[in-house]
Structure formats: C-alpha cells, structure tokens
Amino acid sequence: MENSKKDISVNPLAKHFRQASIHMKLPSNGKFWPENTLDMPITNQIPILPMTAKDEIILRTPDALMNGSSVVEVIHSCCPAIKDAWKMPSIDVDPVLIAIRIASYGHEMNIDTKCPMCSEDNTHVVDLRVVLSNIVAPDYEKKISVDGLLIKLKPQAFFGVNRQNIIAFEEERLMGAFNDDSLSKEEKSVKIAKSMDILVNIGIDTVAGSTDYIETSDGIKVESTEHIVDFYKNANGAIMRSIQDLLGEYNTIGKLKPQKVACLPCKAEYEVPLDFDYSNFFAVGS
C-alpha cells in the first residue's frame, strides 16, 4: 500500500485571528532604537494589535508590573514591529501603551474626578486619540557645555526607566529605617547607608543611561558606558545637577498632559492628571 504524507492543513479560523486595529507614528520616529530592536515599516507607522485574553491577565499581575516584564510581554504581543521592548526609548513607551489600549478597547476612557470647588464626584470621557496626538518628544539635539565638555543626552531605555520602581522601594525602606524605633543606632546607620548607596548608584546609572556621548575639548567622543559611569562617579556634583535639571525639563515636555474637565453640577473647570497606573489603565470598561 502506497504511503502518502498528509499535509498539515491551514487553520480555517486563521482569518479570524486579531489584526492590526491602528497604525501609529512613534514620537522618536525610530531614533534612539538600538540595532535589531525595531522593524520600522516604510510608512514609518507601526501596526498595533488588540490585546489577547492572556495579555489582559498579564497586566493584572502585580509582581510582573513591578519589574516591567508584563509590560514588555504585552508590547511584544501587540506590536510585532517591536523586537526588544526592554531597549525601546522611554519617550515611546507610554504612547505605545495608549495605542494598545485604543486598539483593544476603543479611543474613549472614563476618568473619575472630584470637583475642587463643590467636591462633587464626576465621571468624564477622555479621547485617547487626542492624548496621543498631543504627546511631544523633547529635542535631544541640545548639548550641555560644562567644564570644557559637551554632553549630549538621549532618552533612557525602558529597562532603565523601570528602575524607578526600585528607587521607590528603596526610598520606602529608607524611611522605614528612620522610623523604626526597634533598631539600635548602629543598625539604623547600616540600613540607611546601604539604601543611600543603592539610591546614589541608581541615580548615576540613570544619568549615564541618558547620556548619548561626552565630547572632550579636543574632539574625542566618549560613548563607552563604563567610561561615562566612571566619569559621573568622579565628576563635580554641579555637573550631575545640571544634567538632572535638563532631564527634568525633558520629562516635563514628554509627560502626558493633564486633562481639562468641567464639573457637571457647578460647571467649574479644572485639570486632572491622566492616571497611568497600568493595572487600572488597561482595566476593561475604564
């Protein structure tokens, strides 16, 4: 009897798999992405797919949200053009997540507020398309001139931004050590010194991760992360403060703009920040 190999059939449901709901232009325009981390389409707009049921569950896992792994996994699932979300520029992270929410649940999102004038509870509808269109990327071409050096900054990668969770944890532990009367002076000193050391090192890593290069007066461009970290550890404190001030300006420029709303009963207008706690932001029906 002649044997024949049966071809694996194509899933007849394949045409019903999720498709890209929207396409978006990244605020970075594809700059600052390391090689092989982004497949930018010729249109300069990346496709965004709606979340799967698994993605929705992932975004409700507190531990995964804390270390950023859930956010990265969902971005990979919904943005096939993004190959390594850990290394994506920070200026693209929130816009991509907003686009994923639009693709999954539509462009309207409810926000609950309390009127500062009459204390009435209000529910307002925010158009996330408008929020997305109003996001502005800072101009990273500006350089800092200090002590004969030119320092050029860049957006941090997402894995660097995620350190903010560690900073918050260490600051909380630091305050706990200050207020813990059960500890001896020596034990307090050890705990405080350890937390302070962690915070200082994270601060240096943050500034180094936001540095594109440092150019010396004789035209040498230093791009080595090791050399840049070593420089910041041994540099005048005024240099660090100058860079942190500029990074603060950049963060303000790229931050999601507050939403202007009006109280339904008293008609008073006021601004409210857009809540971007991921577990709430992606909650169904919000």
Q: Is residue 8 part of a domain?
A: no
Count of structural domains, the chain: 2
What is residue 98's predicted lDDT score, i.e. its pLDDT? 94
Based on the fold, state whether residues 65 and 116 are members of the same structural domain. yes
Per DSSP, 117 falls in state: T
What is residue 2's predicted lDDT score, i.e. its pLDDT? 47
Q: Is residue 286 part of a domain?
A: no
Based on the fold, state whether residues 175 and 264 are members of the same structural domain. no
Backbone CA torsion sign across 110, 112, 117, 119: positive
Which range of residues forms the domain containing residue 53? 18-135+257-281
Return per-residue pLDDT of the chain as tens, 286 residues. 444 455 568 888 888 889 999 999 999 999 999 999 999 999 999 999 999 999 988 887 766 666 678 889 999 999 999 999 999 998 999 999 999 999 999 999 888 899 999 999 999 998 999 999 988 889 898 888 988 899 999 998 887 666 555 566 656 666 666 666 676 777 777 776 777 777 777 788 889 989 999 999 999 999 999 999 999 999 988 888 888 888 888 888 888 888 889 999 999 999 988 766 666 666 655 5
Based on the fold, state whether residues 129 and 218 are members of the same structural domain. no
Helix or strand (DSSP H, E) at 78: helix 69-78
Based on the fold, state whether residues 237 and 277 are members of the same structural domain. no
Q: List CB contacts of 216: < 8 A, sequence separation 6 or more.
A: 148, 149, 222
